[in-house]
Amino acid sequence: MHRTRLYIDGRFTPPIGGGHFPAIDPATEHPFAEVAAGQAEDIDRAVRAARLAFDSGDWPGLDARARSATLRRIAEGIRARLRDIALLEVRDNGKPLPEAEWDVGDAAFCFDYYAGLAEQQAAQPPETVDLGDARFEGRIHREPVGVIGAITPWNFPLLMAVWKVAPALAAGCTIVLKPSELCSLSCEVLAEIIDAAGVPPGVFNLVTGTGPEAGQPLADHPLVDKLAFTGSVATGRKVMQAASAGIRTLSLELGGKSPFVVFDDCDIDKAVEWIMFGIFWNKGEVCSATSRVLVQRGIYDRLLDRLRAAAEAIEIGPGETPGVKLGPLVSKGQYDKVRAAIDAGRRTTARLITGGGRPEGFDAGYYLTPTIFADVPTDAGIWREEIFGPVLCVNPFDTEQEALALANDSPYGLAAAVMSDDPDRCERVAARLRAGIVWINCSQPTFTQLPWGGYKTSGIGRELGRTGFDACFETKQITRFDHKAHWGWYLDAPE
């Protein structure tokens, strides 16, 4: 059974305490690897290595073109091992293999993309500002923020880590990565690829472990300049409190309960396809999942019928099985949480359209049938709270104003979608949806080139795109006075 290692200061090393915990295959409920259980001492080693590499190493001041070349080698390293990494994520997370392959390919592209942005920045001189006084010269410089502490989730183990690692390395930062204890294995492979690409010691560090034993010490560490967290709102609050104690830069990408507004002038089959993709992709374990669907009453019953038939036709099984579209949930804890939410939904006046239990023929594994509730009370937990599983809630609406009111009535604001054959209506609704990500006539397509993040309790800051790159920098102004000129405020000008 494979035992993972930490990666600190350019070396693979066991945790100081020597402890490991099992990685469980969610399709079989059996352990298949042992994950290094990093502790506070390991975090301290990693942060100090990152601090030294930033303060005294070559990486921050390295020509951006040289950093970009290294990032492109990392991208090639990921592509060379794409299928093996994808199969590892299937076993660690449970997602279908085609989805895992898509994720790993996106991770490689992310390194290429930020390599390109670093090259673009290298070609641009510092911004100069006309100060209205010829004796002064004003410049705006951007410098890497420093040591970044990154804590990442289990639903997209490699990809979510890369969203933080790639822009950080491209900007010249150093980083300590703490992935979720539920899915850490592909991040060890990332460390191997980064090591082989020639990233200097201390620039990238990996410490696996639990949240209390490794994540909290990373959030609390005084030598970290910026914290970047993706996960639950509850944990995000703790990370935010830790950042506030040290007055440190922070980015949070938290939960969602995203609405999908479907008008009665759209093609029902297209609507069903995108609704399905919006909630059943990655087993519904997606922060931006459009899990609240609002359907205009004219097509409500017909769409529900089509949706039920399509959900019941989804092939369920182990992620490596060809044709499977829905794998097991990631862990027993997550499975129990989703089942509890479904049971709570049954106790409301909502109609259970389909699903809600274990599929036939699966005695082991954390499998759950695609679940759809209709006519859901808008104060019910299944309508208002993030479930993070393949559970969809559907309600009717009559007018555009009513749809917008229902869609925006949420503490979350990560994503939203609208579907209509009327382009003007789509643009009008998109403008009024209170969310950081809005899809028109689709749901969930995600592009590295566009910023990612939400309003309200869904987070602070943005990842991806140029915005995600800019978030890895501090802004410095340099004001220069002409040494040949005279100021003469306290001393008279020489004769």
List, by residue number, the catalytic residues.
253
DSSP 326: B
Place of tokens 């289990």: 154
Give the integer Cα–Cα distance in Å for 143 and 138. Answer: 16
Q: Show the tokens assigned to 226.
A: 């910026």
Count of Cβ atoms closer than 10 Å to residue 298 Cβ: 13
Give the integer Cα–Cα distance in Å for 488 and 495. Answer: 12
CB 103 within 8 A of CB 204: no
> Containing H/E element for 383?
helix 381-384
Query: DSSP per residue over 168-208, as a string?
Result: HHHHT-EEEEE--TTS-HHHHHHHHHHHHTTPPTTTEEE--
DSSP 273: H
Count of Cβ atoms closer than 10 Å to residue 485 Cβ: 11
CB 338 within 8 A of CB 329: yes
Place of tokens 């140029």: 466
Relative to beta strand 249-253, strand 459-460 is: antiparallel
* 3-class DSSP assignment, residue 386: coil
What are the beta bridge partners of residue 196?
none
Select from 474, 449, 475 the least CA-distant residue to 173: 474
For the chain, the straight-line distance linking the first and the last C-alpha, in angstroms and rounded, comes to 85
Give the integer Cα–Cα distance in Å for 197 and 213. Answer: 30
Give the integer Cα–Cα distance in Å for 399 and 296. Answer: 8
